Chains A and B, each alone.
Chain A
Amino acid sequence: MVVHYNPPWANTHIIGIAGSSGSGKTSLALRIVSALNLPWVVILSMDSFYRPLSPEDSAQAFRNEYDFDSPSSIDFDTLVERLRDLKQGCVYSFEKHQRVEQTTTIYSCHVLILEGIFALYDPRVLELLDMKIFVDTDADVCLARRRGFYADFASIHGAIKQWTAFVKPNFELYVEPQRKNADIMVPRGIENSIAIDMIMKHIQRALLSKSDEHIKTLRALGQGHDADEPLPTSVKVLKDTPQLRAMHTILHDEETTREDFVFYFDRLATLLVERGSDHLAFKPKEVVTPQGITYAGLELSKDVSAVVILRSGGTLEVGLRRVVPDARIGRLLIQSNARTGEPELHYQNLPSSLAKDSVLVLDPQVATGAGALMAVTVLKDHGVEEERIVFVTYLAGLGGLRRLTKVFPKLKIIVGKIQEGFERRWIDERYFGS
C-alpha cells in the first residue's frame, strides 16, 4: 500500500500585509524575516504581479500619469493561481520585476509573507491567508516616504502629481476599505515594536505546529511494520562477498587511518554507483566492431544527473565521478534539527535538466529515512519521476528503508550494508576528518 508523505511546506502558512503606498509594509515584512532568520520564511511582493505595461501605459508612466495604485493594475488571477500552487508546496519561478530579467524561485517555504497595497483586496486571496495585517500609517508620512522613494529618477513635482492624482483618491477608494478584512491593524508601521512582537509570536507558533505535524507524520510512517517482513525488490543490497566484508571491516574499524578510510570508502562508493547504474534506463544500440561485425548492445537512454545530500553525500562523489565523470550534480542541504530531530531543508541547488534525466541520489547513511524522504519529495516536486530515481547509500537501517519504500514504491535503493539498530551519522566525520 502506498502511503503519502507531506513535507512541512505542503500547507504553507500565508500572511498578508496590506497598507497604503509608503506605509512601511515592505520594511515590516523584511524586519520579520530578518528577525526569524530562517530560510523557510519568504516574502512575496505583489509588485511581481503588475500587469505588463503597454507602450501607451509606459508613456503615461513616464509622465507620472499611470495609475499604479489602482487594483486594476494588478493581475489577481495569476496571483491567486500562484498562491494556490505555493500553498500546495509547488515550485514557483517568477520574474522579480517586469523590467528585470532575473528570476527568483520560491520553493519549500513554510511561511510566506505576501506584501502589497492590495494584499487584502481580492476575496480569493483572503481565503488563502492565514493572517491578515493592515499597516496604518499617517498619510503625510506616506507622502514624505514616497517623495524620498522617487527622488532618484523623478522630480518632487512628479511625486506630488502622482500623489494627488492617484494615490490619495485610490487610498480612500480601495486601500482603506481593506481595513475591515484585517485581523491586526499596525499603526506606525515598523516603529510599532509591540505589534511586530505579536506577529513574530504568531509566526513562531505556526512554525512550531508545522514542525510537530511533520514529526508526527514521520513517526506514523515508521509504524506498523512486521520486523521479519522481507524488503521489497526495489531495495538492492550489495552481494555479501568476502572482499566486501573485509572492506566493511576496515571502514568500521576506529583504528583505520583516515588515508585508508578514504581509499576504501572511495572504492566501495565506486561499486555502489556501478550497481546503481544497473537500474538506470537503457535502450538497445547496435554497433559495428573493428572486425566489421554488428553487436546488439545497449546504451543509456537518458543523461545521468546526480543529487548529493549534504554534507554526508559528498563522500560518495569520488565514486560518482569514477563512473559518470560528466554527471550534472545538484545539491540539497538537509539537516536534522538538533532539538527535535526533524529534518530541515536549508539549501537546494538543482540542475535545470533534472526533470528529463535519470537521477542518482547520494547519501551514505539512511537511519530513520526522514532526510531521504524529504530529498526524494524535493526531486519529485521538481518534476523527476519516481521510477527514474536511484537512491545510493552505504549503511541503511531497516526502519528507514521500510519508510522510504512505503512512500516511494517505485524508487530504487542501492545499499552497501544493512544497519542493525540506529546509528548516528559518522561516515562524513571519518571521511572529511571534521
Chain B
Amino acid sequence: MSTVPESPAEPIGPKYKEEEEKPQATVSKPIKHSNIHILPQTPQLIALLTMIRDKSTLRGDFIFYSNRIIRLLVEEGLNHLPVISSSVTTPIGHTYSGVKFEGKICGVSIMRAGESMEQGLRDCCRSVRIGKILIQRDEETSKPRLFYDKLPEDIAQRYCLLLDPMFATGGSATMAVEVLISKGVPEERILFLNLIASPEGIRSFAERFPKLRIVTAFVDQGLDEKNYIIPGLGDFGDRFYCI
C-alpha cells in the first residue's frame, strides 16, 4: 500500500439537498492554480469516474463512460476560446444578439492513449483537424523520447487542444507542449485536456507553462513507486484499446 495521503471525501449533490441527503464520495484534490480548471465535482461526474476506475468494468462500458467524461472536458475546454458578438434573425423574426466562434482550432493527440479522446472532440467539433504526436519512454534512459509528429501546416495560427487522458509525471505532455511551441504555437493558445492527473505533476506542469490552460476531470491522490496514478484507473490506452 502507498503512504500517499487520501483525497478528500465529502457529501456531493445539488445545493437544494440537505447535507445528510447527499451521498458521500471521494472528490478531486483542490489545486489552487489560476490555469488549472477542474470540472465541477457533480454526482454524475463522480459516478462516471467510478465506472471507469472499477477494474471489473468491461471494455465496452469503459469506452462509453470515458467518452462521456471526455465530451464534458471538451465542452469545458471550448469555453476558454474567444468569441465575438454577432446578431442574427430567428426563425420567428426576432433579433437575437449572440456571439460566434473566433479563430481556428485543432486537436493534437499524444499517441496512443490521447487518440481515444478524438471521438469526444469530434462529437463537439465536427470536422476538426487533428494532429498526432508519438512520444514513448526510452527503455534505456527511462526518459520520454519523441518518435513521430504529424501536425496541420498552419498549426501556428490555431488554438490547440492537446489530448492525453492520464497525467502522471507529465514527461510526455511537457515534451508535446515543447513540440507545439517549436512549431510556433503560442503557449496561451494551448489547452491541455486530461481525465485524471497527479497533484504534484499537474502543479509543476502548470508552473512551467503559466499561460497554458489545463482542464481536468479529477486530481487524484498521487503516484505510487512505479509512477502510476493512484487510485487511478490502470493503463488507459490498454483498457480502451486492448483489455
A interface residues (Cβ-Cβ under 8 A, vs B): 233-234, 236, 241-246, 248-250, 252-255, 263, 267, 270-271, 274, 277-280, 282-285, 287-291, 293-300, 322-323, 325, 412, 423-424, 426, 429-430
**B123 close to A270 (CB less than 8 A):** yes
Residues of A within 8 A of B23 (CB): 282-284, 298
**B68 close to A274 (CB less than 8 A):** yes
Q: Sample 18 A-B pairs with CB under 8 A, ordered by A number.
A: A245-B83, A246-B83, A246-B98, A249-B99, A249-B100, A274-B44, A279-B14, A282-B46, A284-B24, A293-B1, A294-B231, A295-B49, A298-B43, A298-B46, A412-B14, A423-B92, A424-B92, A430-B91
Residues of B within 8 A of A255 (CB): 88-89
Contact of A242 among B47, B72, B99 (CB under 8 A): B99
Known contacts A263-B126, A295-B26, A295-B50: does B79 contact A289 (CB below 8 Å)?
no
CB B87 to nearest CB in A, in angstroms, measures 9
Residues of A within 8 A of B43 (CB): 278, 280, 282, 298
- Let me know if B64 is at the binding interface, CB within 8 A: yes
**A291 close to B224 (CB less than 8 A):** yes
CB A401 to nearest CB in B, in angstroms, measures 15
Residues of A within 8 A of B55 (CB): 287-290
Q: Which residue of A lies closest to B228 (CB)?
A: A291
**B92 close to A296 (CB less than 8 A):** no
Known contacts A241-B79, A242-B82: does B234 contact A254 (CB below 8 Å)?
no
CB B136 to nearest CB in A, in angstroms, measures 21
CB B231 to nearest CB in A, in angstroms, measures 4
- Let me know if B206 is at the binding interface, CB within 8 A: no
Residues of B within 8 A of A295 (CB): 26, 49-50, 53, 231
CB B155 to nearest CB in A, in angstroms, measures 22
CB A292 to nearest CB in B, in angstroms, measures 8
- Let me know if B128 is at the binding interface, CB within 8 A: no
**B92 close to A426 (CB less than 8 A):** yes
Residues of B within 8 A of A234 (CB): 16
CB A360 to nearest CB in B, in angstroms, measures 12
CA distance A267 to B128 in the complex (A): 15
- Find residues 1-54 in chain B having any chain A CB closer than 8 Å to their own CB: 1-2, 9, 12-16, 23-26, 42-44, 46-47, 49-51, 53-54
CA distance A263 to B127 in the complex (A): 12
Residues of A within 8 A of B239 (CB): 290
Known contacts A252-B96, A290-B234, A293-B230: does B75 contact A243 (CB below 8 Å)?
yes
**A298 close to B100 (CB less than 8 A):** no
Residues of A within 8 A of B64 (CB): 325
**A253 close to B89 (CB less than 8 A):** yes
**A233 close to B25 (CB less than 8 A):** no
Q: How many residues of B contact A (CB 8 A)?
A: 59
Residues of B within 8 A of A300 (CB): 47
**B81 close to A243 (CB less than 8 A):** yes
Residues of B within 8 A of A243 (CB): 75, 78-79, 81, 83
Known contacts A249-B88, A298-B12, A429-B91: does B83 contact A289 (CB below 8 Å)?
no
- Let me know if B142 is at the binding interface, CB within 8 A: no
Contact of A274 among B24, B72, B78 (CB under 8 A): B72
Shortest 3 CB-CB contacts between residues of A and residues of B: A297-B50, A249-B98, A290-B234
Residues of A within 8 A of B9 (CB): 296
Q: Which residue of A lies closest to B14 (CB)?
A: A279
Q: Which residue of A lies closest to B4 (CB)?
A: A293
- Let me know if B181 is at the binding interface, CB within 8 A: no
Residues of B within 8 A of A423 (CB): 92, 94
**A277 close to B54 (CB less than 8 A):** no
**B68 close to A323 (CB less than 8 A):** yes
- Find residues 210-236 in chain B having any chain A CB closer than 8 Å to their own CB: 224, 228-235
CB B133 to nearest CB in A, in angstroms, measures 25
CB B14 to nearest CB in A, in angstroms, measures 6
CB B23 to nearest CB in A, in angstroms, measures 5
CA distance A250 to B100 in the complex (A): 8
**A291 close to B230 (CB less than 8 A):** yes
Encoded as 1 (CB less than 8 Å from any A CB) or 0, chain B from 52 to 72 comes to 011110000000100010011
Encoded as 1 (CB less than 8 Å from any A CB) or 0, chain B from 97 to 112 comes to 0111100000000000
Residues of A within 8 A of B49 (CB): 295, 297
Contact of B13 among A244, A282, A287 (CB under 8 A): A282
CB A55 to nearest CB in B, in angstroms, measures 54
**B88 close to A254 (CB less than 8 A):** yes
Residues of A within 8 A of B83 (CB): 242-243, 245-246
- Let me know if B182 is at the binding interface, CB within 8 A: no
- Let me know if B90 is at the binding interface, CB within 8 A: yes
**B126 close to A289 (CB less than 8 A):** no
**A271 close to B230 (CB less than 8 A):** no
**B50 close to A299 (CB less than 8 A):** yes
CA distance A14 to B86 in the complex (A): 58
CB A256 to nearest CB in B, in angstroms, measures 8
CA distance A284 to B124 in the complex (A): 31
Residues of A within 8 A of B233 (CB): 289-290
Known contacts A242-B82, A243-B79: does B53 contact A270 (CB below 8 Å)?
no
Known contacts A245-B99, A271-B75, A289-B54: does B90 contact A252 (CB below 8 Å)?
yes
Residues of B within 8 A of A287 (CB): 50, 53-56
CA distance A270 to B232 in the complex (A): 27
**A298 close to B50 (CB less than 8 A):** yes
Q: Which residue of A lies closest to B64 (CB)?
A: A325
**B89 close to A254 (CB less than 8 A):** yes
CA distance A434 to B237 in the complex (A): 44
Known contacts A296-B9, A298-B43: does B50 contact A285 (CB below 8 Å)?
yes
Q: Which residue of B lies closest to A290 (CB)?
A: B234
**A278 close to B24 (CB less than 8 A):** no
Residues of B within 8 A of A242 (CB): 79, 81-83, 99
CB A1 to nearest CB in B, in angstroms, measures 17
Other A-B pairs, 11, CB within 8 Å; known A249-B96, A250-B100? A245-B83, A248-B96, A252-B91, A253-B96, A278-B43, A284-B24, A289-B231, A289-B232, A295-B53, A296-B26, A299-B50
